[in-house]
Amino acid sequence: MFILKHFRIKKYQILRNVRYIQTKSIKNILDLKEHELSDSEVRIIGWVKSFRDQKEIKFIHLNDGTDGRNLQLVCLAENFPNKDNFSNISNSISFNTSLEVHGKVVKSTHKLQNYDLQVTELKIIGPCNPLEYPFKQKIKQTLESIRPHIHLRSHVDQFADIMKFRSELVSSIHNFFYQNNFTQVHTPIITSNNCEGGCETFQVTLNDYDRGLEIIKKDSINQMDELNSRHFFSKPVYLTASAQLHLETMTTSLGNVYTLSPTFRAEKSMTRHHLAEFYMLEAEMIDMNSLDQILDLTENFLKQVSLKTYDVFDKNLLHLILNKNKPKTSGLEYIEKITNTFNSKKFVRITYQEALDILNKLLNTKKYSKLIKKKIEFGEDMNKEQEKLLVEYFQDTPVFVTKYPKSIKPFYMRQSEDNEKLVENFDLLAPHVGEIIGGSLREHRIDLLNDAIKNQDLEPQVFDLYLETKKFGAMRMGGWGLGLERFMQFLINIENIRDVSSFPRSLYNCKM
Amino acid sequence: MFILKHFRIKKYQILRNVRYIQTKSIKNILDLKEHELSDSEVRIIGWVKSFRDQKEIKFIHLNDGTDGRNLQLVCLAENFPNKDNFSNISNSISFNTSLEVHGKVVKSTHKLQNYDLQVTELKIIGPCNPLEYPFKQKIKQTLESIRPHIHLRSHVDQFADIMKFRSELVSSIHNFFYQNNFTQVHTPIITSNNCEGGCETFQVTLNDYDRGLEIIKKDSINQMDELNSRHFFSKPVYLTASAQLHLETMTTSLGNVYTLSPTFRAEKSMTRHHLAEFYMLEAEMIDMNSLDQILDLTENFLKQVSLKTYDVFDKNLLHLILNKNKPKTSGLEYIEKITNTFNSKKFVRITYQEALDILNKLLNTKKYSKLIKKKIEFGEDMNKEQEKLLVEYFQDTPVFVTKYPKSIKPFYMRQSEDNEKLVENFDLLAPHVGEIIGGSLREHRIDLLNDAIKNQDLEPQVFDLYLETKKFGAMRMGGWGLGLERFMQFLINIENIRDVSSFPRSLYNCKM
């Protein structure tokens, strides 16, 4: 009862013929049943996706974003009483012009579509000068070629469809947590916590940073003090690199919580796997007592959300995303392979030590000598190429790598019962992209937390409030963080992370 | 098929009696049907909400965040073979201690609850020293008194329940847009756009701002240049104050879009209505042709989402949020009043000019002389008190005020057809909190946009990419932004905006 069922259907009184004309979405029209066809006129709006011009007839393919399919508009000279209006169509319409069109839905004579719109009136809303417009009707764009036009990318179907997939995926994620009784928490972006994980962060200052530099240049210590005192929050603050510590504090009385929130890294890297601003899904669950327990949950989450998203997402659009500039089958084969793996296989679970043993075994094989140049010693981290190799080794099944050395992991991870050099953590490695999730059981014993902070040369006062929460009814917990963009790259086989983000930010790159 | 139905029910092999013990949530137990009661032992975890100690019997109320109700634990001496264990309970348990408990579900003898748990085993997970713990069992906390303990606030039921309400509201919002075929877009936080709306923004710099000041203090122009060149994004960037311009660029091929995203204002105000970081819900809809059309949509959205959230949110929790420290009925009366208004009344729609006329008419009345000291002239903005007065004037019905002077509104609002001094915009004023939504039809005519930018002394180059999108298939659009926290304040009658945000940030205030 709460849903606005006919949200997209609006009514207009057109004085010309004194009757109501329904505004239909293109999806409405393409999904019509045959018995629903009527003589009444409809009104649609949309963007021209292609245009074919003949003397007595003009064909336009129009799209309004409601469907992967276009609607074919048929403009017949005989339907335009004013001949000038008809011939003007050719001059004023081009690729991506936006239109308001009135006409009648009729059965199509073309076998590729069910219905055409026979146009009786056509108005330009926004022209599109083909000489200035960077995209051309007859030249197929690649994701790479449209990337510099960050403000116009959604005009191109493949990118628009990627954005739609992201929206569907996000919706599946929220549904999963809602149905499993998690509370969604909006954790803060601005934080006084500089770097629990040892990563580079951004600082947030007042808007007069550059003016401040000018003041100081003129060399006055008083002015310098004045500038220092200008901290809006009365101390230096940063953009969050992870919401985990905040989430942990929210579990008492709330139980399981999650957040899907922007996170920031000022790493000076320009790879196709890194962004300076990205979305991280972080979940924190109470009463977590063993690695297998959290691994089971994580595996279930990933499989369910992925399969659900594939299932409900428009198959035509999936086709478009995957097969642009590629042979017809490769993309769908990719999805089918993942779907099969997710439906039938359990993810691989190995320890960090076992992972090293496998990689070091491959050390002297010709095929991998470029990736593994020397033996990886206990205490060293694996690089992205080595992570991908591990997944390959297990025939592209996702791999949980568990129990890393305590020395290379954050202080809040729970120390293993059986080996105090290890922590109860995991990384999940996915085919093609490597790590997409990192998680662990959390240390709730305050003495061990204090030791870990000391051993890692961190400043305890940065974590004073977090540590205090462990003094009052601490709970055994576990949680993880998933990089949303990397997950997308994996799910729809997109090589460059910039192509799954609406406005990607990276080193030297922040347009608009 | 995709839902992990029994997500919270986990199995443990307990060696003591070699059988499986189910971990139950407290909600599971309280919702049991009588025929489902069995003799098998269950395991639960949770936090102590109250504790009553007698010689042969001890009562504990436990909560795990899954339900507004607590489960009563009954510890009978006879069930503890080891007498020391039993008497130790008194020494080690206090308000907010976290426990793992084993026992049997039995019918309660107390009429206020259906079931008790008869405890056979009880383990402390995290102790809670009552001498250090800031909250006491027998002293009722107010939202104001717990505010300084930002990291512990979720321990207090009323605050935890506000967070749950927020989660439910956010879920209703996402569902509304999903069901109406909007695409959710994650718009960027870091932007090169400084201030389209004329508000104060934060700047984002590299992490060495303070060190940079030190370098400069030592007075070297070379070092100064070096620091200037350290812009991570090769230019100054800011925290977003609104995602609207970004959203507008995404509508082509995507159609209707929305985002629920953090936004930032560096306003040096400390009122109970302002945060430096808050969530804004922004929707952008294509083919918007009249103010009434967008007002209808907005009104429908607000009513549906509000009523739906009230409807599905746990009534016990709503009670707790509203009635803490207040007479039993006042809170629910508040909800009932809003619900009735939303169900039966159409929101008021008046123009800015009509609003001024009403306020100026009240100018000389004794009652309002403090709020309206002098006549408000055309071109002046109303203040918050005057906005609230307007809503009062219309018997607490929300009021749309439309068609403001162009001179006091952002450049992107569409100029009125009938009066070029006005724009086709609206503010929605709600009882008690004033403005919660601001929106407008958007100007899609590039010459009018350029004029407005010039007239408002803005720098056109800041908007170059946005303006370029209007050159290529521009669409008539309209949209609005809703302040999520203010909406919450209105829906559950919370006076201070800091009490509906997990980690509120404001002037001089950024803890954790």
Q: Classify strands A183-184 and A202-206 as parallel, antiparallel or unpaired.
A: unpaired
Cβ of B205 within 8 Å of Cβ of A207? The answer is: no
Would you give the distance in Å from CA B105 to the centre of its chain? 37
- CATH number of the domain that residue A331 is part of: 3.30.930.10
Long-range contacts of A136-140 (CB under 8 A, 24+ apart): A136/A95, A137/A50, A137/A51, A137/A94, A137/A95, A140/A324, A140/A325
pLDDT over 50 at B258, yes or no: yes
Residue contact A510–B297, C-beta within 8 A = no
A2 band by pLDDT with thresholds 50, 70 and 90 = very low
Confidence of residue A318 (pLDDT cuts 50, 70, 90): confident
Q: Is residue B143, in this structure, part of any structural domain at all?
A: no
Chain B residues with CB-CB distance to A306 below 8 A: none
Q: How far apart are the first and last CA of chain B?
A: 40
pLDDT at B213 over 70: no
In chain B, pLDDT over 70 holds for what percent of residues?
Answer: 88
Find the helix or strand (DSSP H, E) in which B352 lies.
Answer: helix B352-361
Q: What is the pLDDT of residue A367?
A: 77
> What pLDDT, on the 0 to 100 scale, is given for residue A15?
34
* Cβ–Cβ below 8 Å for A207 and B266: yes
Per-residue pLDDT at A158 exceeds 90: yes
Contact (CB<8Å) A276/B232 = yes
Whether residue A140 is predicted with pLDDT greater than 70 in this model: the reply is: yes
Please report how many Cα atoms fall inside a 13 Å half-sphere around the Cα of residue B57, on the Cβ side. 6
Q: Which residues of A touch B304 (CB under 8 A)?
A: 2-4
CA B384/CA A108 separation, integer angstroms: 58
Residues B231 and B341 in one domain: no
Question: Which chain A residues are Cβ-neighbours of B470 within 8 angstroms?
Answer: 126
Q: Answer yes or no: do A116 and A177 share one domain.
A: no
In three state form, how does the secondary structure of B272-319 look? CCCCCEEEEEEEEEECCCCHHHHHHHHHHHHHHHHHHHHHHCCHHHHH
Measured between CA atoms, how close is A371 to chain B, in angstroms?
Answer: 31
SS3 call for B227: helix
Q: Which two tokens stand for residue A299?
A: 């595996």
Least Cα separation, residue A358 to chain B (angstroms): 32
Beta carbons of A382 and A357 less than 8 angstroms apart = no
State residue A409's pLDDT score: 94
Q: In terms of domains, do B31 and B175 share one?
A: no
Task: Report angle CA A112, A115, A117 to the nearest 5 degrees.
Answer: 125
Q: Are B126 and A184 a contacting pair at CB < 8 A? A: no
**For residue B362, what pLDDT band results from cuts at 50, 70 and 90?**
confident
What pLDDT, on the 0 to 100 scale, is given for residue B384? 87
**Tell me, what amino acid is at A18?**
V
- Cβ–Cβ below 8 Å for A512 and B255: no
- Partners of B62 on chain A (C-beta within 8 Å) are none
User: Which residues contact residue B470 at a Cβ distance below 8 angstroms, ignoring those fewer than 6 apart?
Assistant: A126, B444, B445, B446, B449
Helix axis angle, A484-492 relative to A315-323, nearest 10°? 90
Per-chain mean pLDDT for chain B: 88
- What is the span of the domain harbouring residue B39? 10-126
Please indicate, yes or no, whether residues B412 and B465 belong to a single structural domain of this protein: yes
Sign of CA dihedral B85, B87, B90, B92: negative
3-state SS class at B343: helix
Closest CA to A495 of A279, A282, A334: A334
Tell me what pLDDT residue B227 has. Answer: 55
Cβ-Cβ contacts under 8 Å, B276 against chain A: 190, 232-233
Write out the H or E segment, with its range, that includes residue A281.
Answer: strand A277-286
Q: Is it the case that residue A35 has pLDDT exceeding 60?
A: yes
B245 chain-A contacts, CB cut-off 8 A: 512
Residue B116 pLDDT more than 50?
Answer: yes
Mean pLDDT of A73-100: 92
Decide if A286 and B253 are in contact by the 8 Å CB cutoff: no
pLDDT of residue A24: 92
CA B237/CA A509 separation, integer angstroms? 10
Give, in order, the Cα–Cα distances in Å from B67 to each of A232, A329, B83, B110, B313: 39, 49, 33, 19, 11
Q: Minimal CA–CA distance to A463: which of A304, A291, A249, A312? A: A249
Q: What is the dihedral of CA A94, A107, A320, A122, to 10 degrees?
A: 20
Set of chain B residues whose Cβ sits within 8 Å of the Cβ of A4: 179-180, 300, 304
Per CB-CB distance under 8 Å, the chain B contacts of A229 are: none
Distance to chain A for B453, nearest Cα, Å:
17
- pLDDT band at A98, cuts 50/70/90? very high
Closest residue of chain A to B68, computed from CA coordinates: A253
Q: Do B164 and A254 touch (CB under 8 A)?
A: yes
Distance CA A7, CA A263 (A): 34
State whether B157 and A502 contact (CB < 8 Å). Answer: no
Within a 10 A sphere around the Cβ of B434, how many other Cβ atoms? 22
Asked if A331 and A441 sit in the same domain, the reply is yes
Q: Which of B178, B232, B238 lies at the smallest CB-CB distance from A207?
A: B238
Q: Do A47 and B253 touch (CB under 8 A)?
A: yes
DSSP H helices, A315-461, are: 315-323, 330-344, 352-361, 384-393, 446-455
**Percent with pLDDT over 70 in chain A:** 89
Does some domain include residue B425? yes
Q: Decide if pLDDT at A11 tops 60.
A: no
Q: What is the pLDDT of residue B210?
A: 59
Residue of B nearest to A240 (CA): B512
| Per-residue confidence (pLDDT) for residue A479, from 0 to 100 | 98
Lowest mean pLDDT among A208-222, B136-150, B200-214: A208-222
A161 and A120 in a common domain: no
CA distance A453 to chain B (A): 16
Whether residue B185 sits in one domain with residue B68 = no
Q: Is B461 part of any domain?
A: yes
Same domain, B217 and B334: no
The sign of the dihedral angle between the CA atoms of B219, B225, B230, B234 is positive
The enclosing domain of A38 has a CATH number of: 2.40.50.140
pLDDT grade for B2, boundaries at 50, 70 and 90: very low
CA of A284 vs chain B CAs: smallest distance (Å): 13
Confidence (pLDDT) at B8: 34
Pick the residue with more confidence: A20 or B365?
B365
Q: Is the pLDDT of residue B102 over 90?
A: yes
Cβ B65–A183 below 8 Å, yes or no? yes
Residue A133 located in a structural domain: no
Distance, in angstroms, between B455 CA and closest chain A CA?
A: 22
Mean pLDDT of A71-99: 92
Higher pLDDT, A220 or B53: B53
Predicted local confidence at residue A329, as pLDDT: 61
Give the count of beta carbons closer than 10 Å to the beta carbon of residue B49: 17
Q: Of the given ranges (A139-143, B44-48, B220-224, B283-287), which has the lowest mean pLDDT?
A: B220-224
Same domain, yes or no, for B192 and B275? yes
Residue B100: how many other CB atoms lie within 10 Å? 18
Contact yes or no for A207 and B200 at CB 8 A: yes
Q: Looking at the predicted structure, is the pLDDT value of residue B264 above 80?
A: yes
**Does residue A463 share a domain with residue A417?**
yes
Cβ neighbours of B493 (radius 10 Å): 18
Q: For residue A77, is it within any domain? A: yes
Q: Per-residue pLDDT tens for B301-343? A: 999 999 999 999 988 888 888 865 555 567 788 899 999 999 9
- Searching chain B, which residue's CA lies closest to the CA of residue A289? B12
Report the 10 Å Cβ neighbour count for B418: 7
Which single residue is written with the structure tokens 């084993």? B102
Confidence of residue B55 (pLDDT cuts 50, 70, 90): confident
Residue that is last in its domain, among B109, B126, B143: B126
Residue A365, helix vs strand vs coil: coil
Length of chain A: 512
Q: Nearest CA to CA, how far is B224 from chain A (Å)?
A: 8
Size of interface A-B (CB pairs under 8 A): 409
pLDDT for res B231: 81
- Domain membership of residue B147 (yes or no) is no
pLDDT at B251: 97
A437 pLDDT higher than 70: yes
pLDDT at A328: 57
C-alpha distance from B454 to closest chain A C-alpha (Å): 19
Q: Could you tell me if A46 and A95 are in contact, meaning their C-beta atoms sit under 8 angstroms apart?
A: no
CB contact under 8 A, B183 and A190: no
pLDDT at B279 over 80: yes
Looking at the structure, tell me whether residues B371 and B483 fall in a common domain.
yes
Report CB contact under 8 Å: A255, B189. Answer: no
DSSP string, A157-212: HHHHHHHHHHHHHHHHHHHHHHHTTPEE----SEES---TTS---EEEEETTHHHH
Question: Helix or strand or coil: residue B393?
Answer: helix
pLDDT band at B30 (very low <50, low <70, confident <90, very high): very high
d(CA A487, CA A495): 12
The Cα–Cα gap between B415 and A469 comes to: 54
Mean pLDDT of the B253-270 span:
93
Return the closest-CA partner of residue A239 out of A269, A270, A280. A280
Nearest CB among A209, A232, A253 relative to B155 is that of A253
Residue of B nearest to A148 (CA): B465
Does A227 map to a domain?
A: no
Strands B257-264 and B183-184: parallel
Residue of A nearest to B269 (CA): A232
Q: What is the 3-state secondary structure (H, E, C) of A98-117?
A: EEEEEEEEEECCCCCCCEEE
**How far apart, in whole angstroms, are the C-alpha atoms of residue A309 and residue A491?**
10
CA–CA distance, A193 with A311 (Å, rounded to integer): 40
A235: closest chain B residue by CA: B508
Grouping H, G, I as helix, E, B as strand and the rest as coil, residue A265 is coil
Euclidean distance between CA atoms B239 and B230, whole angstroms: 18
Q: Give the contacts of A190 (CB within 8 A, at least 6 positions apart).
A: A204, A233, A237, A238, A239, A240, B202, B239, B264, B276, B277, B505, B510
Please give the residue that has the higher pLDDT: either B196 or B269. B269
Structure tokens at B409: 């509104």
Residues in chain B with CB shorter than 8 Å from the CB of A129 are 471-472
**pLDDT classification of B195: cutoffs 50, 70, 90:** low
Q: Do A128 and B250 touch (CB under 8 A)?
A: no
Which two tokens mark A179? 């149905």
In tens, the pLDDT along A464-475 reads 999 999 999 999
Per-residue pLDDT at A225: 56
> Is the separation of the CB atoms in A444 and A469 below 8 Å?
no
Residue B56: both structure tokens together: 């042969």
Higher pLDDT, B55 or A301: A301
**Chosen domain end from A109, A126, A143:** A126
Nearest CB to A476 within list B125, B201, B233: B125
Q: Which residue has the higher pLDDT, B363 or A179?
A: A179
- Start-to-end CA span in chain A (Å): 40
CB contact under 8 A, A510 and B233: yes
ipTM computed for the complex? 0.93
Q: Which residue has the higher pLDDT, B231 or B63?
A: B63
Cα–Cα dist A382/A254, whole Å: 36
In this predicted model, which residue has the larger pLDDT, A18 or A204? A204
Task: Name which residue leads in pLDDT, A466 or B373.
Answer: A466
Confidence at residue A269, expressed as pLDDT on a 0 to 100 scale: 81
Percent of chain B clearing pLDDT 90 (strictly above): 70
Least confident of A108-122, A296-310, A487-501, B315-329: B315-329
Same domain, A122 and A179: no
Q: What is the pLDDT of residue A109?
A: 82
Q: Helices (DSSP H) in A60-156: which residue ranges?
A: 83-92, 143-146
Phi, psi of A38 (to 5 degrees): -140, 175
Q: How high does pLDDT run on average in chain A?
A: 88
Cα B485 to Cα B279: distance, rounded to the nearest angstrom: 7
Reply yes or no on whether the pLDDT at A222 is more than 80: no
Residue A472: which of B12, B96, B503 has the nearest Cβ? B96
Domain count, chain B: 3
Q: B430: buried, middle or exposed (CB in 10 Å: 19+, 13-18, 0-12)?
A: buried
B138 is a domain residue = no
Give the range among A19-23, A78-82, A90-94, B218-222 with minimum mean pLDDT: B218-222
